[in-house]
Structure 1
Amino acid sequence: MDELAEAAGVPVRTVRFYRERKLLPAPRREGRIAWYNEHHLARLRTITALLERGHTLGGIAELMNAWESGRHDVGELLGLDPALPTPWSEEEPLRLTPEALADYYGDQATAENLATALDIGYIAVDGDDVVHVSRRLLEASSGLVKEGIPLAEVLSAGRDMRHRMDLLAELFVQLARSHVLPGAEADLQAGDTTRLTEAIARLRPLVEVVVEVELALAMDRRLREELKG
């Protein structure tokens, strides 16, 4: 415990307190010796990073409990709801070890970046594994890091983009409600979302073209501005 506390940069009493609160899993014991490993250290650093971001110990404890006892809810933690009648996303979560995740980002797989990815919803912890929301997103973000963009900046951009995408998704859902399925609001209030999700699925190829073309045109406009500068 002394070595774990030193490696994490926290007092031994803090480690003891986290153990008592069930925030840290029990160590492996050999007689009177308690062995902590890299998973304990990663967990301890994650707790520290989450506290620094303003999370309470109570909230962290609830999240840890959800990770360890609700493995069937990992998709929900990542924002993937298999109960949707017609899911839009075709992304599949990717399960990997913490070491495998670190291989994607090298020395930038820090506790702070891990906490940010958790906060955004890119990853969730399931037992000793990490579950990423999307293989393609993981590989793309890793590629951006390899191109020289710090992971912290990639995550910051991802947080901003997720907010903007939520607004864009809401725009298209409202269009579907108002014009494709007039009166869908009443159905939703009655708990019937099937007609709405199926209608949105029919719009999917059209919406994807609009988003792709608009992004391409926006990039052209932005690049022209950069070249003028």
Structure 2
Amino acid sequence: MSVLSDEDSSPLLTVDELAAEAGLTVRTLRYYASMGLVPPAVRRGRVALYGRDHAARLGLVRALQDHGFTMSAIEKAMARIPASAGVEDLAVQRAVLTSWAPAGPEVLDRRQLDDRAGRALDEEQVALLIETGVLERVGRTYSPLPGFEMSIELLDVEVPADGIREAADAIERHMGALTDELTEILRRRVLEPYRAIPRTDEQSDRLEVTMQRLRALTLQAVVSGFQRATNAVISRSLR
């Protein structure tokens, strides 16, 4: 039973129709609603109906799940999106959030973690990996994060654990500042002009692809910039 929205010609869906379109069970849909991941339904008498914005929010939730976000992280991300955000705004959010996320979580038990590391890790080493942000522990499972392989190799270098911690703190501090500045440039130069003009679904999909390419190019630029800065430091020291 679909009816037309008062605002446009888009059909409003029943909970069963929305769940089917989103590829969810009705029970899961109601659970997401209870978490505040989708706004309240539109009421037509005793019938609860849902519009395109509800479907777009559910699409964003599913995309974040596919990219390895935990439900806690998804809840926080969705809470930051204004209730007034339209379908296009949600498409932008999806492009931004998913393009910078890993492809999916790798969940390992303790034995599998040692296999993944290629060595038997002691508890102190595991704690150091967690502390430096390259390993996440949830209950009795572990998920390697970007930088895990490099940190495993670093364990074989004769550097005290405190030195590794200090280096990790310095990287996190400067990368945080760089990320804030790049995000502001992205907002002003890419996202705000995109929002200013109505877009089709096809154009929204192209934005998602563009953001993925931008991610790869940005990572290359950061590495290249660090190499140039390192060369400059070496040159100054030789002089």
TM-score by length of 2: 0.44
| Bigger fraction of residues in helix | 1
TM-score by length of 1: 0.46
